[in-house]
């Protein structure tokens, strides 16, 4: 039994994200759910994406303040997606150069 479900962790992560941050949902099918959370808490500035967005590299060359990964995402993402997340995280504006 997953005792971490429905505890508000995703909502808190979205609320605490810097303006204009990218939020990585655990899967493609949960992007709409995470987007609805962001909208419900007034955080439409947060770009909600799937792990595939990281993997396909279309974000390269874009500037964003931070990349936030949903607390459950590491449990379901592939190693390649996790590597892409780490690389994107290093390139964020919030990271020292």
Domain with 20, as residue range(s), is 9-90
In a domain, 35, yes or no: yes
Higher pLDDT: 6 or 58? It is 58
* 3: phi then psi, degrees, rounded to nearest 5: -85, -5
For residue 1, pLDDT over 50 is answered with: no
- Grade residue 2 by pLDDT with cuts at 50, 70 and 90: very low
Alpha-carbon gap, residue 24 to 20, rounded angstroms? 13
Q: How many distinct structural domains can be found in the chain?
A: 1
Q: What is the pLDDT of residues 29-87, one digit of tens each?
A: 999 999 999 999 999 999 999 999 999 988 888 889 999 999 999 999 999 999 999 99
Higher pLDDT: 97 or 71? It is 71
- Grade residue 97 by pLDDT with cuts at 50, 70 and 90: very low
In a domain, 97, yes or no: no
Q: What is the pTM of this model?
A: 0.88
Beta-carbon contacts of residue 8 (< 8 Å; ≥ 6 apart): none
Give which of 19, 82, 79 is closest to 46, Cα–Cα.
19
User: Are 36 and 11 a contacting pair, CB within 8 Å?
Assistant: no
In a domain, 56, yes or no: yes
Please calculate the CA angle 79-15-60 and round it to the nearest 5 degrees: 40
């Amino acid at each position: 039994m997953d005792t971490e479900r429905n505890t508000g962790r995703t909502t808190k992560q979205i609320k605490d994200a810097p303006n204009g941050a990218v939020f990585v949902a655990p899967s493609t099918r949960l992007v709409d759910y995470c987007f609805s959370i962001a909208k419900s808490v007034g955080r439409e500035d947060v770009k909600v994406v799937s792990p595939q967005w990281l993997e396909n590299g279309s974000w390269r060359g874009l500037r964003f303040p931070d990349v936030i990964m949903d607390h459950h995402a590491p449990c379901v993402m592939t190693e390649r997606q996790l590597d892409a997340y780490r690389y994107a995280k290093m390139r964020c504006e919030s990271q020292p150069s």
